[in-house]
């Protein structure tokens, strides 16, 4: 068997630097997707139809087309239209953030709908304003229920982040490919990158379980 | 204090309330009785606009609350409501449940709200459960916390929507006792209930609803011994 892991040793620091690059844009994308997704979810449940239509069309577009296509449009096609030379990082954050928002908004919408209607009535009967009711009463209960689904979305995003290697962003995946091309061996660097992805996702999973346990204190 | 004038409510094709008019005086305890589906709860929920009447007017202290210009949230601040299924906020402790509205709605300081919350929980006999989350409480305890939560807004009127219907039999009394105590303080109360003995004992006036129509409006003695309509007679025969 033709395996020689010692060959990648000189490339280990180079590949490891990709962890930072990946984490940087994944965390910004998750945050952006989460905030935007929450706003879209609230649009979807308001009685004001233009907001609802906007959020529904948004979700339909971003869920209905491939993420890699959205990434390419932002990175390659937008400069053609606007003349603005967008960076790989900004393209990646935009594509992943906007895409994730569509999925997150559906998860949060379902979570809000699943909160007992009596909670809304109790808050209304006390004279609680809509905003406070959402922030203090409904969303905390919704988030508790949807945490596993949200974690799943964050994990998917972390793994799918490897797609940015296609636009030349020097993430973990791209660096593994470069190392592979340099030493004419692909198994070792790809395997190494795979282990790192797995470790990152495992840490994310454990963090999610911890938060879940904390939130279940009232049970 | 409350005046309802020809209240109707239609859900789709179903006319649930068919023109109900009544008044409730300050300090009066009114119980609404009637078979299931008679519109009792719907009528009660119209009084704090959780349901909007299809037609008719409701006045609270001579202000028409059914007017489209009225701010519902302002109206609800002075009307407390207790639900059949409690609807406590499950992610807050008993004390936090009671403190929440005074802080968020009235802008009260945490310290003040805590004082009020502790006093009210003491009043409903729940001092030892201040830090308990709702799902650690029995039904009767939950309902007592829910009453304290409603009282924390210092309402002028308290509405009760079948407050003991979801309780195990042995917990009914502890809730009714709290309500009796509240009635003795002169609180204006409107109560939808199936507890006939409680109605007999505490109510100043009984409203008997059937099929969306107010059939009887009378004081309890007359209602329970000598109801004027046949429908009320047959209802009482079944439940007493």
Tens digit of each residue's pLDDT (9 = 90 or more) over A88-106: 999 999 999 999 999 999 9
Given this model, what pLDDT does residue A2 score? 82
pLDDT in tens, B52-97: 999 999 999 999 999 989 999 999 999 999 999 999 999 999 999 9
Contact yes or no for A126 and B74 at CB 8 A: no
The predicted structure's pLDDT at residue B116: 96
Identify which of B50, B91, B153 has the shortest CB distance to residue A141.
Answer: B91
Measured in angstroms, the CA of A131 and the nearest CA of chain B are apart by: 11
pTM of the entire structure?
0.84
| pLDDT at residue A217 tops 80 | no
At how many degrees (to 10) do helices B110-123 and B94-104 cross?
130
DSSP-assigned letters across all residues of A105-155: HHHHHHHHHHS-HHHHHHHHHTT--HHHIIIIIIHHHHHHHHHHHHHHHHH
Exposed, middle or buried by CB within 10 Å (0-12, 13-18, 19+), for A159? middle
Full strand arrangement of the beta sheet holding B63-64: B14-24, B2-11, B55-60, B63-64
Confidence band, pLDDT 50/70/90 cuts, at residue A218 = low
Smallest Cβ–Cβ distance between A140 and the set B50, B91, B150 belongs to B91
- Contacts of residue B61, Cβ cutoff 8 Å, sequence gap at least 6: B1, B156
Q: Which residues of B touch A217 (CB under 8 A)?
A: 133
Q: Are B79 and B68 in contact (CB under 8 A)?
A: no
Phi, psi dihedral angles at A65 (to 5 degrees): -130, 155
Contacts of B135 in chain A (CB under 8 A): 218-219
Q: What is the dihedral sign for C-alpha B81, B155, A134, A148?
A: negative
Out of A121, A124, A137, name the one closest to residue B89 (CB).
Answer: A137
Return left, alpha or beta for A56; rule: phi > 0 is left, psi -120 to 50 is alpha, else beta.
alpha
The pLDDT tens digits for A138-195 are: 999 998 889 999 999 999 999 999 999 999 888 999 999 999 999 998 899 999 999 9
Contact residues, chain B, for A126 at CB < 8 Å: 76-77, 80, 100-101, 105, 149-150, 153
Q: What is the interface size between A and B, counted as CB pairs within 8 Å? A: 68
The span from the CA of B99 to the CA of B90, in Å, is: 14
Element of type H or E holding B216? strand B213-218
What confidence score (pLDDT) does residue A63 get?
95
Q: Are B206 and B31 in contact (CB under 8 A)?
A: yes
Average pLDDT over residues B167-174: 92
| Cβ neighbourhood burial of A131 (10 Å; 0-12, 13-18, 19+) | exposed
pLDDT of residue A159: 92
Mean pLDDT of chain A: 92
CB-based contact, B142 to chain A, within 8 Å:
no
| Contact status of B155 with chain A (Cβ, < 8 Å) | no
Confidence at residue A4, expressed as pLDDT on a 0 to 100 scale: 85
CA dihedral over A208, A212, A213, A214, signed as positive or negative: positive
* Proportion of chain B above pLDDT 70, given as a percent: 100
Pairing status of strand B29-33 against strand B188-192: parallel
Of A34-38, A44-48, B112-116, B148-152, which gets the smallest average pLDDT?
Answer: A44-48
- Closest residue, chain A, to B136 (C-alpha): A219
SS3 B2: strand
pLDDT digits over B183-226, tens only? 999 999 999 999 999 999 999 999 999 999 999 999 999 999 98
What is the mean predicted confidence (pLDDT) over B118-146?
95
Model pLDDT, residue A71: 95
Mean pLDDT of B138-160: 96
E strand or H helix at B219, and its extent?
A: none
| Across B144-150, average pLDDT | 97
Interface of A with B (CB under 8 A): 116, 118-119, 121-122, 124-129, 132, 136-137, 140-141, 144, 217-219
SS3 B153: coil
Adjacent-strand bridge partners of B22? B4
| Residue in chain B lying closest to A122 (CA) | B87
CB distance from B27 to chain A under 8 Å?
A: no
pLDDT tens digit sequence for A153-163: 999 999 999 99
Whether the pLDDT of residue B179 is over 90: the answer is yes
Is B201 in the A-facing interface, judged by CB distances under 8 Å? no
B/e letters for B141-153, b = 16+ CB within 10 Å, e = fewer, are bbbbbbbbbbbbb
> Quick check: B110 contacting A, CB < 8 Å?
no
Say what the ipTM of the complex is.
0.92
Give the H or E element holding residue B55: strand B55-60
Between CA B88 and CA B135 the distance in angstroms is 9
Q: What is the structure's pLDDT at A198? A: 96
The three-state secondary structure class of A28 is helix
Q: Cα-flanking dihedrals φ and ψ of residue B6, to 5°? A: 50, 55
What is the band of A212 on the pLDDT scale with cuts at 50, 70, 90? confident
Q: Determine contact: B149 vs chain A, CB below 8 A.
A: yes
Q: Between chains, do B87 and A118 touch, taking CB under 8 Å as contact?
A: yes
Instruction: Give the pLDDT score at A3.
Output: 85
- Contact residues, chain A, for B102 at CB < 8 Å: none
Distance from A1 to chain B by nearest Cα, in Å?
A: 58
Q: Give the span between the Cα atoms of B191 and B40, in whole angstroms.
A: 9
> Of B43, B93, B79, which Cα lies nearest the Cα of A124?
B79
Give dist(CA B152, CA B158) in Å, integer. 11
- The answer on pLDDT for A219 being more than 80 is no
The answer on pLDDT for B44 being more than 90 is: yes
| B145 min Cα distance to partner chain A (Å) | 13
The percent of residues above 90 in pLDDT, for chain A, comes to: 75
Residue B3 host element (H or E):
strand B2-11
For residue A131, give the chain B residue with the closest CA. Answer: B104
């Amino acid at each position: 068997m033709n395996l020689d892991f010692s060959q990648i040793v000189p490339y280990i620091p180079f590949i490891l630097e990709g962890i930072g690059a990946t984490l940087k844009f994944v965390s910004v994308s998750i945050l952006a997707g989460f905030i935007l997704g929450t706003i879209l979810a609230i649009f979807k449940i308001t009685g004001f139809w233009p907001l609802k239509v906007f959020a529904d069309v948004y979700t339909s577009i971003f869920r209905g087309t491939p993420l890699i296509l959205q990434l390419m449009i932002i990175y390659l096609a937008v400069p053609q239209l606007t003349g603005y030379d967008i960076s790989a990082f900004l393209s990646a954050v935009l594509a992943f953030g906007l895409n994730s928002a569509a999925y997150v908004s559906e998860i949060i919408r379902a979570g809000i709908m699943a909160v007992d209607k009596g909670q809304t009535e109790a808050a209304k009967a006390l004279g609680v304003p809509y905003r406070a009711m959402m922030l203090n009463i409904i969303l905390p209960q919704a988030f508790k229920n949807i945490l596993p689904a949200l974690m799943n979305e964050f994990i998917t995003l972390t793994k799918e982040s490897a797609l940015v290697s296609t636009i030349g962003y020097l993430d973990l995946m791209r660096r593994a490919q470069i190392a592979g091309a340099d030493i004419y061996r692909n198994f070792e660097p790809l395997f190494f990158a795979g282990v790192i992805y797995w470790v990152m996702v495992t840490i994310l999973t454990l963090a999610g379980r911890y938060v879940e346990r904390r939130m279940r204190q009232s049970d | 204090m409350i005046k309802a004038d020809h209240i109707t409510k239609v859900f789709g094709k179903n006319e649930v309330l068919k023109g109900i008019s009544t008044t409730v005086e300050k300090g009066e305890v009114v119980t609404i009785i009637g078979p299931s589906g008679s519109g009792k709860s719907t009528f009660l929920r119209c009084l704090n606009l959780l349901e909007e009447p299809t037609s008719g007017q409701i006045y609270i202290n001579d202000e028409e609350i059914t007017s489209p210009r009225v701010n519902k949230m302002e109206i609800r601040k002075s009307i407390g409501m207790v639900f059949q299924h409690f609807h406590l906020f499950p992610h807050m402790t008993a004390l936090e449940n009671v403190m929440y509205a005074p802080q968020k709605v009235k802008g009260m300081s945490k310290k003040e709200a805590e004082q009020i919350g502790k006093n009210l929980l003491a009043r409903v006999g729940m001092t030892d459960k201040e830090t308990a989350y709702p799902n650690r409480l029995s039904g009767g305890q939950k309902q007592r916390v829910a009453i304290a939560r409603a009282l924390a807004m210092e309402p002028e009127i308290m509405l009760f929507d079948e407050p003991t219907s979801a309780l195990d039999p042995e917990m009914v009394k502890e809730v009714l006792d709290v309500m009796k105590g509240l009635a003795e303080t002169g609180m204006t109360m409107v109560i939808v209930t199936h507890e006939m003995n409680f109605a007999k004992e505490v109510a100043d006036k009984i409203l008997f609803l059937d099929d969306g129509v107010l059939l009887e409006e009378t004081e309890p003695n007359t209602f329970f011994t000598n109801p004027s309509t046949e429908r009320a007679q047959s209802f009482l025969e079944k439940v007493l």
